[in-house]
Structure 1
Amino acid sequence: MNGSKNIGLGLLLLLTLGFSSVFAQTTRVKGLVTDKSGAPLPFVSVFVPGTAFGMVTDAAGRYELQFDSPKDSLRFSLMGYKAVTIRIKPGQEQVRNAVLESSAKTLSEFVVKRKKERYRNKDNPAVELIRLVIDNKSKNRMEHYDYANYNQYEKLEFALSNLSDKIRNSRFTRKYQFVFENQDTTKLEGRSLLPMYLEEKLADVYFRRDPEKKKTIIKADKKVSFENYIDNRGLSAYLNHIYQSVDIYDNNMMLFTNQFLSPIANAGPTFYRYYIADTITTADSSKLIVLEFYPRNKMDRLLEGKLYITLDGNYAIQKADMTANKEINLNFIRDFHLYMDFEKTPDGRYFMNKNTLMADFGLFKGSSGLYGERTVSIKDMVINKPMPEAFYAGSPVVENENETAKPDSFWMAHRHDTLTTAETKVYQNIDSLQNMKSFKRTMDIITFLLAGWKSVGTKFEVGPVNTFYNFNPVEGFRLRLGGRTTPKFSKSIYLEGYTAYGFKDQRWKYYFGGSYAFNHKSVYQWPVRAIKASYQHDTKIPGQELQFVQEDNFLLSFKRGNNDKWLYNDIFRLNYLHEFDNHSAFQLGFKHWRQSPAGTLSYYKGTGMADSVKRIATAELSLEVRWAPHEEFYQGKNFRIPIPNKYPIFTFRAIAGVKGLFNSGYNYQNISLNIYKMVYMSQLGYSEVVVEGGYIFGKVPYPLLTIHRANQTYAYQLQSYNLMNFLEFVSDRYAGINIDHNFNGFIFNKIPLLRKLKLREVAAVKVLYGGLSRDNDPRLDPSMIQFSKYTDGTPITYTLGKQPYIEGSVGIANIFKLLRLDLVKRFTYLDNPLISNWGIRGRVRFDF
């Protein structure tokens, strides 16, 4: 996971580390919570009034609470039931059961009482009912209408929960007491919440069924800003990615970046057990069936809870209360609840007018952690009122940042829910916090540790720290120092550069570049419309292409096998990038490149070293077109980390080498296409799929051919070939596919010894076809630069024949919740010298 993305996550998770409480006498209470009929009640809040001690009952209605406090009472509460308080004996171990009485609903009749018998779908009235719900899904969705429009309010909140007095009163937080005084003890019974992030959005949404189009016009947008330290837009995108909008009528619901099978999915009866709990009558005399559902396998990524189903012939969901089993293979999420409410339309159908997702995050077991909540509310639904055809054209999301900043009076009049007192203060408190010198110093340290950059004043940064030192066979010990400007220097102009020195080759390297934004925004703020010029004099490994990582990162100093064939490069680049609101973009470029072999690499013609080539010079014109529909990303400086979703990303490149331009020696054309797609497979996990291909027209020496991406580090790289050597294969035409699949523990969850470790299985396969035309094969033309060889004459570089290059891997992910280890096997071209047939590669990745 990249450092800049870690800043956003670290800012929210940092204070959850090491929290603890100071206790007095220990009280242990356990018991069962039921309703008046004796049926167990899951998800009941059990807490000690006046303290931060609390929990929720499990799926069987049981609880077990241990705390140190002289309090002598315990309180039980659940939405739709009257709260109950019972007396307990402090300092003792005891059993206390509780019975809750329904408040919002009146029991009409008891239909079925669950019996202890073998569960089966056949002749099961609960399964017959859920099949009716499934059969009627299409007419109970918004897509049933030709047109619909409504007003939508979204609220996303993150808060530190149950902070101990030790943390609040420590010497590190004494200056921030005005923040700690803003705790909310009323919103979530049994927990004390300290809001740290709040985001609100108000929009008008328009839907058209045929052709399907959804257009969102954002009217107002307000959020806590950490813009001095992190990408505020990227942080918002990532948090909303974790808390995506969900629809129970979809077969799969995305919760915390993972797919959960809906209880009313077409395949629901295969994975869930259903029980009819009771029939109730609402205030408007409508009858509902309460249906409980549970996963057949508690370790699968499935939900459990209650559905309230209408009996008016629509078999629609009127309310849903869902969570997941605590044994499920999730990281950092100790508990979550998803509530959905539906409202009746004039034509007798139901639409979801409110859903709330609440989650308790924690890095370690204990009472302190991070609480997150997202609420989406809909009102003023209008059905089958079309807008003009031209209205639906253009971007699906329309936002004018100059018009969405609204005063507090607007929000008070238009937000669907009233904020709590603590929520109303969070905007002001965070602004005040960021203006404090001590907080700025703390954030500078955090930014340096997580991203590797240190501010020098307000207009310049030095870094990244992980490139200050590294080593390699060509340069030996290498030192580097770099820096860049910040938006405080100029929003339209961005400057960067570095200098480095290799103590073995005794050469200086350097880079300097600058960008100018024509839209007078930050040159790395989407959508970018900027021109950039740069010049680099440095080393490079031919065939190594890295994502989001500097090539001279210290960790990349460690490589397997022979790694002494490098290049000295002098590269001048001039690019214009133009991004559009619909996430398409084009880039025009010019590149003048002079490359010289370094280390033991040499360029020569004929059969000997006498006719050596000291330098190759090219001048290229390029066009890149990229389309990434619905793309979201975390924006760092000089790079972007995409936030995965189900939509593909297309990248097309066309390059033309021009002979004679700035002493360029070659005419050629190079076209390539890359398609990336995340494929979600519900209970079977997800795959990252990359399909790519390219073709080179013209006669060029092999260093200008496609040198296939190799990896000789010990890090697992998704889009490189992890057992291919640098410079091993070149082509002028190629096609390949990479599939990397994560099963999310689908297999390991069924193995008792493995499921407790919450490990996840992964597998990958990479296939590459390629070839070389006769015109570009130096083995047929001595006048061309010949393929590289080792000092003993053994070839280093080869072409791909009729047989593709294939490698595959199987591995274990989620080791310590972060590490992935793969056993990689190479299946073809095993006779090439100095290759590895097997290897172990590692990768660090943050996943829920």
Structure 2
Amino acid sequence: MKTHYQTFLKKSFLTLVLLSITLVAAFAQTTIKGVVTDAKRKDAMPYVTVQFNGTSQGVSTNMQGQYTLTNTGNNKQIKVSFIGYRTVVKDIDPTKDQVINIALVEENHALSEVVVRSAKKKKYSNKNNPAVELIRQVIAHKKQNQLENYSYAEYNQYERMNFALSNLSDKFKNKRIFKNYQFLFREQDSTAIGGKTLLPLYLEEKLSNNYYRQNPYAKKQIIEANKQVKYDENFVDNQGLTAYFNRMYQDINIYDNNVSLLSNQLLSPISNSSPDFYKFFITDTLKDQSPQLIELSFTPRNTNNLLFEGKIYVTMDGNYAVQNALLTVNKNINLNFVRQMQANLSFEKNADGRYHLSQSDLKIEFGINKNKGGGIFGERLVTITNFQINKPRDNKTYAGPSQVIAENADSKDDTYWTMSRPDTLDKASADVYKNIDSLQTIPSFKRTMDIATLVLAGYKNFGWFEMGPANTFYSFNPVEGFRPRIGGRTTPQLSKRYYFETYGAYGTRDQKFKYFLSSTYSLNNKSIYSFPQEYVRASFQHDTKIPGQELQFVQESNFLLSFKRGNNDTWLYNDIFRLDYVHEYLNHFSYQVGLKKWNQSAAGSLQFQNLLPNGQLNNVNLIHTTELSGQLRYAPHEKFYQGKLYRTPIPDKYPIFTLSYNMGIKDFLGGDYNYQNITANITKRFYLSQLGFTDVSTEGGYLFGKVPFPLLDIHHANQTYAFQLYSYNLMNFQEFVSDHYASIMVDHNFNGFIFNRIPLLKKLKLREIIDVKALWGGVRSENNPNNDPNLLRFPGTNGLANNGTATYALGSKPYVEGSVGVGNIFKLLRVDFVKRFTYLENAGAPEYGVRVFVKFDF
């Protein structure tokens, strides 16, 4: 009996063990994960369907092409599918975790067969098109799915921007010049576009708290932490570099009608007018998702236009919101140097069932040659977390400037960043900070940067002193003949408070020495060549000048400006002492006040003459002026790169306001005249979506008082062969003077909108431009020498021009000139055919001209 009982227990125990093993095996979970990429381009592929073969259990890859599947059964295969690509089936081991990366191949042959066997291609139409009906629903629901729909919103934001030389060959990498820099190179990862080898150059990270209020409107960003690669300030404007990159890689709001990209605007696929410019197709329905999604593909009707192509995934829960978007551009787009562009947008559902942007990943690869060779790869990743709605804050949270940087934002340590980043920064990226620091200690790199600065900026650095600018070392003009010049200035290496600048020049024809001296004291302990400036400067200049040409000292002797059309021998000799105070603020409001003592005498064919009571001409040797001045300037959201010579503006939609006031004081420091001169200027760029953009500048001025003609407003003329945006290109120097005037200058770039529709021209990627300038003005009787013989006579009075030139006052009609131009020639040149419409009877007035403008544009 006992034996039978023991046998029963043993069998029962074995049964339980076998049953337990079976149950464990049945409920065991294994994980399959990996990355899906395009086999040809090596790009990560988001929104690819990965599922267990023969089941409906699956997921879609994320923006980095990554997927994770949990196997709770005995599934032995996964299937990977995406529209336009060959489906891949892979065996898996259901008993263990594994990583399986998939490279999908485009289904080229299948597409070719469809084309051959199909009947006559049906013409695309918006009418009765379900894809167009769907996109119209998305457009109709845009307002409710935007941030501005909420009374209040707040969120945390992480930004990461990086740039690197890309697609580098082994031959390039192993060049002798990079012998000491091998530690900089790294292999490209599978989730990025571009070639396999990178040379990282730049990395920046930001962590910020963001607050939005609908009424009254306020949008505030407080940057809590900021970290960036920094180069030697003797070579690079780090602040300007950041501004330039941020302008190129702006936030992408797909709900806006236009999306800013690379200083251009591309029409959004869900803009109000998108059905007129895009073709839409329903390419998939994702029923296993919650909510159900419709995959909507789109492509430009004209592939040269500034438009996207790609896919958006629309929620079918009544919101018609975008849950995901993949934006690229066609290879034929009229954008310069862009090899590839890919923007991935992800949205998350809010507590109220609507959606907000949770992540944006914009990647662009640039190259001189779009098809091969080395290039530049750039990426901007934005991650939004802790999104909260309708949670009001006190008023001080929204008050003040739209962007505030915390005092200790730049001093956060590595531990803080490791804890605060929403993702993990890989070691290769994290090493960029210290690698660039190490790079700048290598003597050969310093020598390379020194040579580059001389070639590009014109200055040769000698430590505490730099010599330049190089383009002024040699020039010529009819008055001075050949004009050698040499000069330079001190650097922050000598002092961050005191700066000195000087040059000396000599004219071989007039045999006169010229020179300039200045001393500047920085009041904010920052370089006077960096923003924001606050300094006091005293300077003295003894040199020549073309009347009415208010060029900076460093530009007047530019070699390229030596080549001019027509007669160019009406000049001035000047002795100018200036005392200036300049103060700029972080919100880009600035003011400056100054004192100027100016003695000017005629040079070349120019003569200062008045009439004596007996009717004889009297030569006047000098004009003495003492002037106080003030200027207010406001340029909201202004961005620029601070170069060695001047600031290079980064164009944007925001206006720039300038108000200037000058007051001449008689008998003060030898001044001979009392007068007041007020000038106001507004400059703005208008973006017109697919029609391009328009730059508009309006200006007006009024001079109170009685003055000789050299103190009137001498309008900006241009006698060079270069096209100048803010000068009159067919007006002669000193041709028109006014004591009251108003002007408007309009320059419109169509960005290829017309040429893109002409078969023979669209391949050249040319861009059409029109330009119009008009000037109204005049001289009151009190400043007209015909009414007062004591005033200096206008040169060429009564039609007797000096060497074919003369000075006039504007009459009842305006001065008008216009031009039509072709831009983007060789991606660099703009050529304008200019016509002058009025005052053609003036001495030496040209009616037509061709002008060239050199500009680097995307």
Common fold: TM-score over 0.5 = yes
Tell me how far apart the structure 2 counterparts of residues 753 and 245 of structure 1 sit (CA, whole Å): 35
1:480 deviates by 0.4
Aligned in 2, Cα 1:250/1:793: closer, same or farther, shift over 3 Å? closer
Alignment pair present for 1:174 and 2:184: no
8 Å CA contact retained: 1:146, 1:209:
yes
Mapping for residues 593-672 of structure 1, pairs under 5 Å: 593-606=598-611, 610-637=617-644, 639-672=646-679
1:177 deviates by 1.5
Alignment pair present for 1:197 and 2:183: no
Tell me how far apart the structure 1 counterparts of residues 313 and 324 of structure 2 sit (CA, whole Å): 5
Question: Among residues 734, 737, 744, which one is paired with 2:751 in the alignment?
Answer: 744
8 Å CA contact retained: 1:150, 1:378:
yes
1:187 deviates by 4.2
Mapping for residues 664-683 of structure 1, pairs under 5 Å: 664-683=671-690
CA RMSD of aligned residues (A): 2.5
Tell me how far apart the structure 1 counterparts of residues 234 and 424 of structure 2 sit (CA, whole Å): 29
Identify the residue that residue 518 of structure 1 maps to in structure 2. 523
8 Å CA contact retained: 2:361, 2:380:
yes
- What SS does structure 2 have at the residue aligned with 1:605? strand
The structure, 1 or 2, with the larger RCO (C-alpha pairs under 8 Å, 6+ apart) is 1
TM-score (norm 2): 0.86
- What SS does structure 2 have at the residue aligned with 1:307? strand
Tell me how far apart the structure 2 counterparts of residues 733 and 504 of structure 1 sit (CA, whole Å): 37
Question: Among residues 433, 436, 441, which one is paired with 1:435 in the alignment?
Answer: 441
Aligned in 2, Cα 1:683/1:757: closer, same or farther, shift over 3 Å? same
Q: Deviations over 1:371-416 (max 9, x none)?
A: 1101111101121122212332221111145443211111111112
Alignment pair present for 1:183 and 2:176: no
Aligned in 2, Cα 1:55/1:208: closer, same or farther, shift over 3 Å? closer
Alignment pair present for 1:263 and 2:269: yes
- What SS does structure 1 have at the residue aligned with 2:556? coil
1:120 deviates by 1.2
Letter paired with 1:635: Q
Alignment pair present for 1:380 and 2:386: yes
1:715 deviates by 0.5
Alignment pair present for 1:368 and 2:374: yes
Q: Deviations over 1:230-276 (max 9, x none)?
A: 10000110011111111001000011111000011011111111111
Alignment pair present for 1:708 and 2:715: yes
1:126 deviates by 1.2
8 Å CA contact retained: 1:44, 1:78:
no
Identify the residue that residue 410 of structure 2 maps to in structure 1. 404
1:337 deviates by 0.6
8 Å CA contact retained: 1:195, 1:422:
no
Question: Among residues 69, 87, 93, which one is paired with 1:99 in the alignment?
Answer: 87
Mapping for residues 146-185 of structure 1, pairs under 5 Å: 146-180=151-185, 182-185=186-189
Identify the residue that residue 415 of structure 1 maps to in structure 2. 421
Q: Larger C-alpha radius of gyration, 1 or 2?
A: 2
Question: Among residues 846, 852, 858, which one is paired with 1:836 in the alignment?
Answer: 846
Question: Among residues 731, 735, 739, which one is paired with 2:738 in the alignment?
Answer: 731
8 Å CA contact retained: 1:148, 1:384:
yes
1:814 deviates by 0.7
Identify the residue that residue 46 of structure 1 maps to in structure 2. 39
1:418 deviates by 1.6
1:571 deviates by 0.7
Aligned in 2, Cα 1:100/1:689: closer, same or farther, shift over 3 Å? farther
Tell me how far apart the structure 2 counterparts of residues 712 and 763 of structure 1 sit (CA, whole Å): 20
Aligned in 2, Cα 1:401/1:566: closer, same or farther, shift over 3 Å? farther
Q: How many residues align?
A: 762
Alignment pair present for 1:496 and 2:504: no
8 Å CA contact retained: 2:795, 2:802:
no
Mean alpha-carbon deviation: is it higher for 660-669 or for 388-397?
Answer: 388-397
- What SS does structure 2 have at the residue aligned with 1:778? coil
Identify the residue that residue 14 of structure 1 maps to in structure 2. none
8 Å CA contact retained: 2:567, 2:804:
no
Letter paired with 1:537: H
Tell me how far apart the structure 2 counterparts of residues 408 and 646 of structure 1 sit (CA, whole Å): 37
Letter paired with 1:98: R
Letter paired with 2:594: G
Aligned in 2, Cα 1:81/1:270: closer, same or farther, shift over 3 Å? farther
8 Å CA contact retained: 1:604, 1:785:
yes
Identify the residue that residue 786 of structure 1 maps to in structure 2. 793
Question: Among residues 806, 830, 833, which one is paired with 1:796 in the alignment?
Answer: 806
Letter paired with 2:209: D
Aligned in 2, Cα 1:386/1:813: closer, same or farther, shift over 3 Å? same
Aligned in 2, Cα 1:775/1:459: closer, same or farther, shift over 3 Å? same
Tell me how far apart the structure 2 counterparts of residues 710 and 774 of structure 1 sit (CA, whole Å): 24
Question: Among residues 299, 303, 322, which one is paired with 2:304 in the alignment?
Answer: 299
- Unpaired runs of at least 5, structure 1: 1-42, 48-52, 58-76, 87-95, 105-112
- What SS does structure 2 have at the residue aligned with 1:173? helix
Identify the residue that residue 543 of structure 2 maps to in structure 1. 538
Aligned in 2, Cα 1:604/1:416: closer, same or farther, shift over 3 Å? same
Question: Among residues 816, 826, 833, which one is paired with 2:836 in the alignment?
Answer: 826
Identify the residue that residue 234 of structure 1 maps to in structure 2. 240
1:100 deviates by 5.0
- What SS does structure 1 have at the residue aligned with 2:451? helix
Identify the residue that residue 532 of structure 2 maps to in structure 1. 527
Letter paired with 1:171: R
Aligned in 2, Cα 1:101/1:480: closer, same or farther, shift over 3 Å? farther
TM-score (norm 1): 0.87
Tell me how far apart the structure 1 counterparts of residues 634 and 341 of structure 2 sit (CA, whole Å): 35
- What SS does structure 2 have at the residue aligned with 1:810? strand
Aligned in 2, Cα 1:794/1:469: closer, same or farther, shift over 3 Å? closer
Letter paired with 1:718: L
Identify the residue that residue 16 of structure 2 maps to in structure 1. none
Tell me how far apart the structure 1 counterparts of residues 707 and 718 of structure 2 sit (CA, whole Å): 25
- What SS does structure 1 have at the residue aligned with 2:187? coil
Identify the residue that residue 91 of structure 1 maps to in structure 2. none
Aligned in 2, Cα 1:547/1:378: closer, same or farther, shift over 3 Å? farther
Tell me how far apart the structure 1 counterparts of residues 584 and 480 of structure 2 sit (CA, whole Å): 38
Letter paired with 2:810: L
Identify the residue that residue 693 of structure 2 maps to in structure 1. 686
Tell me how far apart the structure 1 counterparts of residues 216 and 85 of structure 2 sit (CA, whole Å): 56
Counting aligned pairs with the same residue, the percent is 54
Identify the residue that residue 725 of structure 2 maps to in structure 1. 718
Tell me how far apart the structure 2 counterparts of residues 163 and 445 of structure 1 sit (CA, whole Å): 23
Letter paired with 1:729: F
Letter paired with 2:661: A
Aligned in 2, Cα 1:281/1:55: closer, same or farther, shift over 3 Å? closer
8 Å CA contact retained: 1:126, 1:291:
yes
Question: Among residues 551, 562, 565, which one is paired with 1:560 in the alignment?
Answer: 565
Identify the residue that residue 79 of structure 1 maps to in structure 2. 65
Letter paired with 1:724: M
Aligned in 2, Cα 1:291/1:81: closer, same or farther, shift over 3 Å? farther
Identify the residue that residue 50 of structure 2 maps to in structure 1. none
Tell me how far apart the structure 2 counterparts of residues 412 and 529 of structure 1 sit (CA, whole Å): 37
Aligned in 2, Cα 1:282/1:539: closer, same or farther, shift over 3 Å? farther
- What SS does structure 1 have at the residue aligned with 2:415? helix
1:81 deviates by 8.1
Tell me how far apart the structure 1 counterparts of residues 514 and 647 of structure 2 sit (CA, whole Å): 26
Identify the residue that residue 212 of structure 1 maps to in structure 2. 217
8 Å CA contact retained: 1:761, 1:811:
yes
Identify the residue that residue 490 of structure 2 maps to in structure 1. 485
8 Å CA contact retained: 1:150, 1:379:
yes
1:196 deviates by 1.4
Letter paired with 2:590: A
- What SS does structure 2 have at the residue aligned with 1:647? coil
8 Å CA contact retained: 2:211, 2:221:
yes
Aligned in 2, Cα 1:791/1:725: closer, same or farther, shift over 3 Å? closer
Identify the residue that residue 92 of structure 1 maps to in structure 2. none
Identify the residue that residue 452 of structure 2 maps to in structure 1. 446
